[in-house]
Amino acid sequence: MSTDLKSIGLGFDRWQDAVEAAIATNELVVAGEIRGGQLIQFADASGAQINILAVEPYAAFAGFESVTQTFAHVSMVNDVLAFLEILDSFGTVLTSVTVNLSQGPLLVDQPTQEWQQVGVTALGIDTTVYPDAESYEAATGEVLGLLVSEGAQVVAAGSGAAAPDASASFSARVLDAEYRHNQLTGQRFIHATVDGAFPFDVCLPDGAEVPAKDSVIAGTAMLTAAVLSPLSTGGGCGGCGGSCGCGGH
């Protein structure tokens, strides 16, 4: 699971090491209370995040403060994994994905949250950068802009044969890219905004150069997301009151 951490400058060998380093900063924030425990979040100035569910079933998962925004119907699959139906401005479903949702533990007992503003980030695991769309399509035979979330396919099928996760394969055109430095570790990573099946962010491990505008990033990733402006979370924010921080900030 440490592979996705490298894409946000948290190059630890074990997840436990990343969590311990975050705790040692004394900069953790309680995002909400759930089942007698807490959802705790660490937010690095670089945008990198670590979410810690400090109650059964206990979990730690990466997040990122996305630059891009889109709208989605949000349904929780379990305490961490969410099923998102990504919408266009007319309410048409563009695609469906499963993501690790920063506020997931706070929304797990809530019904589907419709028309939520979300930021989605692909944490790159195995990716390739192509100079342009033509090079990508010539090399792969694939059409640019596809995003395949097998977890979403499993959820939509209602099959118990496989356990869905937040992994996905994707290709997208780069709009902008830059280096960022993780303040916790001092490690550099690449952050990009892209235009694919919908607008989302991509984070990649450090490289010799940032992807150029209109180049193509393609490969596999773990998808993470945050609800930016909850519209109808109901009681999902637990006992954290009006300053519950459900926006993940």
Q: What secondary structure does DSSP assign to 19-73, as a single string?
A: HHHHHHTT--EEEEEETTEEEEEEE-TTSEEEEEE-STT-EEEEEE--S--EEEE
Which residues face 59 on adjacent strands? Answer: 53
Asked if 148 and 63 count as a contact pair (C-beta separation under 8 A), the reply is no
Distance CA 205, CA 215 (A): 17
Helix (H, G, I), strand (E, B) or coil at 199: strand
Asked if 60 and 51 count as a contact pair (C-beta separation under 8 A), the reply is yes
Which pTM does this prediction carry?
0.90
Residue 51, sorted as left (phi over 0), alpha (psi -120 to 50) or beta, turns out to be beta
Residues contacting residue 17 through CB under 8 Å, at least 6 positions apart: none
Mean pLDDT by 10 residues, the chain (249 residues): 82 92 94 92 97 93 97 96 96 97 95 96 97 97 96 90 93 98 97 98 97 98 90 38 33
